[in-house]
């Protein structure tokens, strides 16, 4: 049973470009979470999604950031017009409907030049 798959693992963008990060949850998991982690810091909650629904996006900046979890395919975190402050590791986690633990992917590390 494959774990949570995130890609790309590393992404370099110039200021003003778009970044798209993808997350395929574990098989049977319908809940997806996105977190951002700056170096030497904790994980900041961004958004919680279920299939085709955004449940809680209170941790996600209102501008430039969006997330989706379509009926088919991976969850996508999209950052438009990236700025240097967006440089961070973005972790996706999934859980089953009545799950206890969050299972994390290995993260996508975004560098904005």
Partner 1 sequence: GQQVMQIPQYQHVQEGEDFTTYCNSSTTLSNIQWYKQRPGGHPVFLIQLVKSGEVKKQKRLTFQFGEAKKNSSLHITATQTTDVGTYFCVNTGGFKTIFGAGTRLFVKA
Which residues contribute to the site for partner 1 (CB under 8 A)? 33, 35, 40-45, 48, 55-56, 58-59, 91, 93, 100-107
Element (H, E) at 11: strand 10-13
State the Cα–Cα distance between residues 100 and 35, nearest whole angstrom. 17
Contacts by 105-108, CB closer than 8 A, 24 or more apart? 105/3, 105/4, 105/5, 105/6, 105/23, 106/6, 106/9, 107/6, 107/9, 107/37, 108/6, 108/7, 108/8, 108/9, 108/10, 108/11, 108/21
Give 45 or 64: the residue with its C-beta nearer to partner 1.
45
Least CB distance from residue 113 to partner 1, whole Å?
Answer: 21
Give 46 or 82: the residue with its C-beta nearer to partner 1.
46
Give 43 or 76: the residue with its C-beta nearer to partner 1.
43
The residue to which tokens 């299939």 are assigned: 51
Least CB distance from residue 61 to partner 1, whole Å?
Answer: 16
Least CB distance from residue 63 to partner 1, whole Å?
Answer: 21
Give 17 or 45: the residue with its C-beta nearer to partner 1.
45
Least CB distance from residue 6 to partner 1, whole Å?
Answer: 9
């Amino acid at each position: 049973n494959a774990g949570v798959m995130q890609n790309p693992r590393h992404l370099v963008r110039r200021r003003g470009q778009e970044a798209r990060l993808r997350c395929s949850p574990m098989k049977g998991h319908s809940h997806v979470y996105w977190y951002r982690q700056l170096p030497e810091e904790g994980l900041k909650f961004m958004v919680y999604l279920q299939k085709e629904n955004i449940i809680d996006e209170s941790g996600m900046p209102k501008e430039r950031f969006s997330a989706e979890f379509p009926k088919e395919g991976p969850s996508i975190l999209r950052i438009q017009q990236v700025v240097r402050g967006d440089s961070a590791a973005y972790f996706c986690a999934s859980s089953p409907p009545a799950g206890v633990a969050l299972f994390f992917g290995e993260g996508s590390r975004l560098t904005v030049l």
